[in-house]
């Protein structure tokens, strides 16, 4: 390649990668597979390594972590980052609205969720991210540019150019950690014996204030931007248009904001979001009400603390103080015994709670929590409430420090210690574990037995219908009809579902066994490698670690699982004619390998889930939206807009019958 060809190719690659980054991280709607993306990325990386003079700060390769810092620099914001007046009562909101209407006529507000994360300023010059800083004291914050660069959802370069993209541009947003990522991070920290974060906000703020960007990069952060702080030449008159403009530049903007004209609508929106709060993937602690018209904001001005044109209408707190009555241990699916708190009932953000998680022995000791103590409890996302800390009561006599039991509270087996965790080794023989393991075995990613969820699994174990896992496959309708909640029809359909599940692919079976550390992806890779249960059962630590992604810890768990005599008996029981575990082909697999499928409309012979399982078992992928990468769209009766999109994009469509025929031609009978 000549120099100018290289430059052109680098430009093309950057544009393509940015486009895919945007679709993946901002729109949640990728168009190419990971491997296509990886190929583009490696090609760019390679060209940049060969031509270091062509590397620019906004190249997508530069979002990988930079060097370690000694300390954070101080950065002055392009415009002050104000804070908000806040209150949880309807009356306070109405007072705010009245004050606004005393000055202005025709009031309209933009109302947004109040995201509970860390506020940041991002500065773009000529579309390139040049600075990121924390809020600090509102005028000067700490420079966290290298850390923010590692966050996938923050574009290093904006879309658009010329007059449509102001420069410099300063935007404000909130860096957040999603609740599931937060829980996972805490589990990891605790497994390493480190203290967990109290809530997703602290976890996000902690991740941003790392001197080593590598640590930030390993924490799953996300962003929503909600304000243009400064953009000298930009002609935008409304907050609503500012949100739209930021989205157009490729910044991630939340989809919950609404424009409204009356205070009653704001109250309704607040109530609605409060109800939906636990269903959101991230934490919010209220709604922010902002005057839509930007010029009118100046008319209202500010107090010494906050602007008079905006108001944070908060939710009731999810942190309260109550008394811990008792600490009781319970046994989870994997045998880990966790101490739980029984508390005097207390209302947390609209829900009455009386139980809380105390995590493990070390956490109880670290927080020095004892029965009878006054404690501060908190709910974050949809997690079970946690006891954050003890509230000291000088002079009060306290109970003795809590001791974990030495025997399993469910089956009486001697417990053992694994790091900070106390574990019951009786696996499938322990009723508490059996119920959890049964539920997991039947779960969607495992045997996928419709109708066998948590409640039913507990019922089966409690009623003695399932004393050992293989009993599951001996259940008859008559057994179920004796149980509460079952009628002839529901019993029959569950028995059918169990029968259907008795033929299962190896990776689902393996995942269903619930071996610690073995998630869906690993189960697939391991199954592909070993091909059959019999080979897997005799695999050594070394054999297992040949599989990419399997480290010593995981290998040890797998070997320990299959080496356990009690597990061996269960497996023999399952494989002795009850369960037909299909061997994996070892190749990247299946007649549909590498193809993406979309289903729309109602199918007759198959349920949606059956169709999805079928395609996946043959190596294909099922996605929810049609893109250029879709191979086929299967169209049932009354199809939705996906059908039109397929026609638009010229993607092959199949009726349900054609789909069945398509598979038959390839040797698969449905």
Sites of contact with ligand IVH (CB under 6 A)? 82-84, 112, 114-115, 119, 174, 226-227, 288, 307, 310, 312
Question: At its nearest, how many Å lie between ligand IVH and the CB of residue 121?
Answer: 11
Question: At its nearest, how many Å lie between ligand IVH and the CB of residue 220?
Answer: 19
Strands 310-314 and 386-390: unpaired
Q: Is 114 a catalytic residue?
A: yes
* CB atoms near residue 422 (< 10 Å): 22
Long-range contacts of 459-465 (CB under 8 A, 24+ apart): 459/483, 459/484, 459/485, 460/435, 461/431, 461/434, 461/435, 462/431, 462/435
Strands 284-291 and 310-314: antiparallel
Cα Rg for the chain, rounded, in angstroms?
A: 28
Report the alpha-carbon distance of residue 277 to residue 113 in Å, rounded.
Answer: 10
Strands 310-314 and 86-87: parallel
Name which of 173 and 436 has its Cβ closer to ligand IVH.
173
Report the alpha-carbon distance of residue 416 to residue 137 in Å, rounded.
Answer: 50
Among candidate residues 45, 114, 458, 524, the one labeled active-site is 114
Question: At its nearest, how many Å lie between ligand IVH and the CB of residue 438?
Answer: 42
Question: At its nearest, how many Å lie between ligand IVH and the CB of residue 113?
Answer: 6
Residue 342 DSSP one-character state:
E
Name which of 146 and 283 has its Cβ closer to ligand IVH.
283
Name which of 117 and 196 has its Cβ closer to ligand IVH.
117
Name which of 122 and 442 has its Cβ closer to ligand IVH.
122
The three-class DSSP label of residue 284 is strand
225-285-353-281 Cα dihedral, nearest 10 degrees: -10
Q: Which residues face 230 on adjacent strands?
A: 170
Name which of 182 and 421 has its Cβ closer to ligand IVH.
182
Which residue, 205, 87, 217, 98, is CA-closest to 146? Answer: 217
* CB atoms near residue 186 (< 10 Å): 22
* CB atoms near residue 655 (< 10 Å): 14
Question: At its nearest, how many Å lie between ligand IVH and the CB of residue 272?
Answer: 16
Question: At its nearest, how many Å lie between ligand IVH and the CB of residue 282?
Answer: 11
Name which of 131 and 529 has its Cβ closer to ligand IVH.
131
Question: At its nearest, how many Å lie between ligand IVH and the CB of residue 285?
Answer: 8
Residue number with the smallest Cβ distance to ligand IVH: 119
Element counts in the chain: helices (H) and strands (E): 24, 24
Name which of 82 and 236 has its Cβ closer to ligand IVH.
82
Whether 444 and 450 have beta carbons less than 8 Å apart is answered as no
CA distances from 461 to 218, 267, 408, 536 (A): 40, 47, 17, 28
Which residue, 254, 56, 287, 67, is CA-closest to 156? Answer: 56
Question: At its nearest, how many Å lie between ligand IVH and the CB of residue 115?
Answer: 4
Whether 135 and 81 have beta carbons less than 8 Å apart is answered as yes
Name which of 144 and 501 has its Cβ closer to ligand IVH.
144
Q: How many residues does the chain have?
A: 670
The catalytic site residues sit at 114
């Amino acid at each position: 390649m000549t120099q100018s060809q290289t430059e052109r190719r680098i430009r093309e690659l950057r544009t393509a990668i940015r486009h895919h980054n945007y679709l993946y991280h901002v729109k949640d709607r990728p168009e190419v597979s990971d491997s296509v993306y990886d190929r583009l990325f490696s090609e760019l990386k390679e060209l940049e390594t060969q031509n270091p003079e062509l590397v620019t700060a906004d190249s997508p390769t530069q979002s990988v972590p930079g060097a370690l810092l000694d300390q954070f620099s101080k950065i002055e914001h392009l415009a002050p980052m104000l804070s908000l007046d806040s209150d949880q009562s309807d009356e306070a909101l109405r007072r705010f609205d009245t004050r606004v209407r005393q000055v202005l006529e025709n009031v309209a507000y933009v109302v947004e969720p109040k995201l509970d994360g860390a506020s940041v300023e991002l500065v773009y010059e000529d579309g390139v991210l040049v600075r990121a800083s924390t809020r600090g004291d509102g005028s000067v914050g700490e420079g966290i540019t290298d850390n923010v660069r590692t966050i996938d959802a923050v574009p290093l370069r904006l879309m658009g150019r010329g007059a449509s993209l102001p420069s410099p541009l300063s935007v404000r947003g909130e860096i957040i950690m999603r609740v599931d990522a937060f829980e996972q991070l805490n589990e990891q920290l605790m497994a390493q014996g480190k203290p967990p974060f109290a809530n997703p906000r602290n976890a996000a703020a902690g991740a941003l204030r790392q001197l080593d960007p590598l640590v930030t990069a390993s924490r799953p952060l996300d962003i929503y931007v909600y304000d243009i702080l400064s953009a000298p030449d930009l002609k935008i008159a409304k907050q609503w248009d500012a949100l739209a403009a930021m989205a157009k530049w490729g910044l991630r903007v939340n989809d919950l904001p609404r424009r409204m004209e009356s205070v009653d609508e704001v109250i309704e929106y607040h109530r609605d979001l409060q109800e939906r709060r636990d269903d959101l993937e991230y934490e919010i602690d209220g709604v922010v009400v902002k005057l839509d018209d930007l010029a009118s904001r100046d008319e209202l001005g500010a107090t010494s603390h906050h602007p008079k044109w905006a108001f944070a209408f908060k939710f009731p707190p999810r942190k309260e103080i109550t008394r811990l009555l008792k600490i009781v241990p319970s046994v989870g699916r994997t045998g880990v015994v966790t101490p739980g708190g029984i508390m005097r009932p207390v209302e947390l953000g609209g829900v009455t709670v009386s139980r809380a998680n105390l995590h493990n022995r070390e956490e109880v000791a670290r927080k020095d929590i004892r029965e009878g103590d006054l404690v501060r409890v908190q709910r974050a996302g949809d997690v079970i409430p946690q006891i954050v800390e003890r509230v000291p009561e000088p002079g009060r006599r306290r109970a003795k420090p809590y001791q974990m039991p030495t025997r399993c509270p469910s089956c009486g087996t001697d417990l053992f210690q694994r790091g900070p965790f106390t574990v019951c080794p009786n696996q499938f023989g322990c009723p508490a574990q059996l119920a959890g393991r049964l539920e997991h075995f039947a779960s969607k990613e495992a045997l996928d037995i419709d109708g066998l969820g948590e409640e039913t699994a507990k019922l089966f174990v409690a009623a003695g219908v399932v004393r050992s896992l293989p009993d599951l496959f001996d259940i008859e309708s008559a057994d179920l009809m004796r149980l509460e909640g079952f009628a002839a029809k529901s019993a029959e359909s569950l028995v059918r579902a169990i029968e259907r599940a008795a033929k299962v692919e190896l990776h689902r079976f393996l995942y269903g066994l619930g071996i610690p550390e073995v998630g869906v992806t690993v189960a697939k890779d391991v199954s592909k490698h070993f091909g059959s249960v019999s080979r897997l059962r005799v695999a050594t630590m070394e054999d297992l670690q040949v599989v990419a992604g399997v480290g010593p810890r995981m290998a040890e768990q797998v070997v320990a699982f299959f080496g356990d005599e009690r597990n061996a008996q269960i497996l023999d029981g399952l494989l002795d004619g009850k369960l037909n575990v299909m061997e994996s082909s070892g190749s990247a697999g299946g007649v549909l390998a590498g193809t993406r499928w979309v289903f729309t409309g109602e199918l007759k012979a198959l349920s949606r889930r059956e169709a999805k399982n079928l395609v996946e078992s043959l190596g294909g992928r099922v996605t929810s939206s049609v893109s250029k990468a879709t191979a086929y769209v299967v169209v049932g009766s009354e199809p939705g807009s996906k059908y039109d999109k397929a026609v638009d994009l010229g993607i092959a469509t199949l009726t349900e019958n054609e789909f069945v025929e398509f598979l038959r031609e390839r040797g698969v009978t449905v």
